[in-house]
Amino acid sequence: MPKTTKTPTPDSDAQAAPPPLPYRPLLEHFSPEERATRGKAARQDAPRSSHGRWEPISSRPDPVELLEEQSRERTQELIPIRYGRMLASPFAFFRGSAAIMASDLASTPRSGLNAQLCGDAHLSNFGIFAAPDRSLLFDINDFDETVPGPWEWDLKRLAASFEVAMRNRGVERDTRREVVLRGVRTYRQSMAEFAAMRTIDVWYERLDTNAIFEELRNLARAKDAAAVEQMVAKAEQKDSMRALAKLTEVIDGSPRIVSKPPLIVPASELLTGEALASFEKTIHEFLRNYAASLSDDIRQLMAQYRFVQIARKVVGVGSVGTRCWIVLTLGRDEQDPLFLQLKQAEVSVLERYVGRSRYRNHGRRVVEGQRLMQAASDVLLGWYKVLAFDGKVHDFYVRQLWDGKSSLDIETMPIGMFGPYADGCFWTLARAHARTGDRIAISAYLGPGDVFDTAIANFSNAYADQNEQDFEALQAAEKSGEIVAQRDV
């Protein structure tokens, strides 16, 4: 009998696939009345007003130590860039400090009603991207920390991010509170609407750009509406052809990724000779194995592209230092590019407090969480493992680079846009939680009044104070030489 080989599975540590997880109905077929009763009963253990308090516990970890702990497994030469970006402002610090807030949220009240969490639901992690049908949707666009957990944690991080961002822009206190209250009210009222909907209709709900930006145009002043139009135009132009023009140069008749160290560095500048050849062979194998995480039709699509080049790319704020690569592939000719982003997936900052992910590969954790929470996801989302320069195997996920992605620039967005923008963000978060949690119980817990809204506004104000103190701690750490920061990169 001839020998047969087994195709590696993208979520296996060895060659064998993990046993399939048994299907379990999410809600065990409880009636709507029973689910509503469960939600109201949760108020006994976690009164809605209790969410308004924030005081650091006596054993609160040092925020700089948490950041340093997170940095140890990352590319060390890039860590100063991460700190430099975080030190740009308290809002920039907030963006990079998901690990700190996860530790803090672990000590806050929990309703006991869980949903799939984004894990880093700040307002800059919402924006436009292109759906598979090429329509532009508004949705959450970052899932590096996704894991099931208390829905309140996502909501608190999103609300606090608005408070921090508006402080950063010099918005007065009353206006800040009004915007946060408006956002949480939108979440509460939207959850009530989702609770009354047919289950499958909740999964079909989506917020396309025509809906959200028409509202923004109506509510914003004429000069503010220009910012909306710019955001949409940017998203419409941001694709692989745009990446080809921006990120490559023609050498000997073929496109090659430009070198802009330290932000973009082709692998050929990091490695030479046999080491480079070995790494490129590893990437070829990775791409073949990653294809096993795709559906058959998309696998057929990917088979029509050939690998050209790979380069390291620095992205974001909190992600700086994680291993991130961009890959240029070509289809029919040099004017048929497809750019992929290969991004390292670490342990979620929430897992320490909610338990380990059911997925052994953190790339799969990210992909499955994204598919659960987004209205429509990139068809090229997939995962596998890579043997990196350090000789260790790291989990990665793959997505298209610049697939219609765009977002409002929070640093320059007209002040009058914060309210309408909050409507879009909080509606989107409610939709994601309604898809993956018990929307009827959550809605019953929230209730029709503004008790919860007020509590979250109070929490956001108090936590913004905490964020400023932690930002000052990082500034002090730089001044004392404990950390090194590289600014303006």
Give per-residue pLDDT as tens, 166-212: 999 999 999 999 999 999 999 999 999 999 999 999 999 988 776 66
Give the domain extent around 207: 32-235+413-480
In a domain, 487, yes or no: no
Measured distance CA(337)–CA(41) in Å, rounded: 55
In a domain, 189, yes or no: yes
Task: Verify that 160 and 190 share a domain, yes or no.
Answer: yes
377, 400, 423 — which closes off a domain? 400
Helices and strands per DSSP (H, E), number in the chain: 19, 12
Task: Check residue 8 and give its pLDDT.
Answer: 45
In a domain, 19, yes or no: no
In a domain, 317, yes or no: yes
Burial of 364 (0-12, 13-18, 19+ CB in 10 A): buried
Whether the CA torsion 433, 405, 144, 454 is positive or negative: it is negative
In a domain, 313, yes or no: yes
Contact 341, 325 (CB under 8 A): yes
Task: Verify that 36 and 158 share a domain, yes or no.
Answer: yes
Task: Verify that 255 and 196 share a domain, yes or no.
Answer: no
Task: Verify that 385 and 419 share a domain, yes or no.
Answer: no
Task: Check residue 212 and give its pLDDT.
Answer: 63
Q: How many CA atoms lie within 13 A of 181 on its CB side?
A: 11
Task: Verify that 366 and 426 share a domain, yes or no.
Answer: no
Task: Verify that 250 and 298 share a domain, yes or no.
Answer: yes
Task: Verify that 56 and 192 share a domain, yes or no.
Answer: yes
Task: Verify that 59 and 188 share a domain, yes or no.
Answer: yes
Task: Check residue 207 and give its pLDDT.
Answer: 84
In a domain, 6, yes or no: no
Task: Verify that 339 and 377 share a domain, yes or no.
Answer: yes
351, 366, 400 — which closes off a domain? 400
Task: Verify that 212 and 115 share a domain, yes or no.
Answer: yes
Task: Check residue 408 and give its pLDDT.
Answer: 74
378, 400, 422 — which closes off a domain? 400
In a domain, 426, yes or no: yes
- 413 φ/ψ angles, rounded to the nearest 5 degrees: -60, 135
User: Which of 87, 108, 71, 124 is CA-nearest to residue 231?
Assistant: 124
Task: Check residue 54 and give its pLDDT.
Answer: 97
- Number of compact structural domains in the chain: 2
In a domain, 228, yes or no: yes
Task: Verify that 376 and 451 share a domain, yes or no.
Answer: no
What is the 8-class DSSP label of residue 481?
Answer: T
Task: Check residue 221 and give its pLDDT.
Answer: 60
Stretches in the chain below the pLDDT threshold 50: 1-18, 22-23
Task: Check residue 420 and give its pLDDT.
Answer: 87
Task: Verify that 150 and 258 share a domain, yes or no.
Answer: no
Measured distance CA(142)–CA(125) in Å, rounded: 6
Task: Check residue 132 and give its pLDDT.
Answer: 82
Task: Check residue 17 and give its pLDDT.
Answer: 46
